[in-house]
Amino acid sequence: MQSFKRGFTLVEIMVVITIISILTSVLYVSFNAARDAAKISTEEATVKQLNLTLILYRSATNSFPPGVDNCSLCDLRTGNISAAQADWDLVVAALAPKYIGDSISTDVWGNPYAYDNNYQEVDSNYYTILCSMGPDGQLQSKSYNTTLTAEPLARGDDICFFAL
């Protein structure tokens, strides 16, 4: 008389492990895409808030920070990341602590913000531009000449706003 043991065979266990692995990999890709989209949304909100902060600063002081010509955007065009970070740190120092906290030194991807406090002259006034370079950390365009707008400007994956 044969006795049968209850349980799973090795083949059945391997099939279940394979199915679980496939499902896990699909979920991992989905969660990565959602995380990347969340970072972009967060950065759009941050840049928009910084833009509003610059407008508030200008209305209080009659100039954009830091009060002298500051162009981290220019430094980033030439690839000088450390100078761009130093220029942005001057802006943060001018805005902190009254307008912002001092913790906004980089975007969510760790890149310095691209900023020019006298970017474009319109009606004898200089306007400023503030950009996050996006996930790739590269400026997508050498020039952002466009109609001034309060909406974000799309240049590749850059996230930019003009302070009007």
- pTM tops 0.75: no
* Closest by Cα among 138, 133, 121 to 43: 133
pLDDT, position 148: 43
pLDDT, position 141: 55
Q: List Cβ neighbours of 73 (8 Å cut-off, separation of 6 or more).
A: 84, 114, 115, 116, 119, 129, 131, 139
Percentage of residues of the chain with pLDDT beyond 70: 75
Rounded to 5 degrees, φ, ψ at 104 are -95, 70
Among positive and negative, which fits the CA dihedral 61, 63, 66, 67?
Answer: negative
Which pLDDT tens digit goes with each residue over 68-82? 566 777 777 777 788
Q: List Cβ neighbours of 158 (8 Å cut-off, separation of 6 or more).
A: 114, 131, 132, 133, 134, 139, 140, 141
Percentage of residues of the chain with pLDDT beyond 90: 10
User: How many CB atoms within 10 Å of residue 110?
Assistant: 8
Which tokens belong to 38? 């969340």
* Closest by Cα among 50, 161, 44 to 108: 44
Which pLDDT tens digit goes with each residue over 54-65? 888 888 888 778
Q: List Cβ neighbours of 91 (8 Å cut-off, separation of 6 or more).
A: 65, 66, 70, 72, 113, 115, 117
| CA 118 to each of CA 4, 115, 148: distance values in angstroms, whole numbers, following the listed order | 84, 9, 13
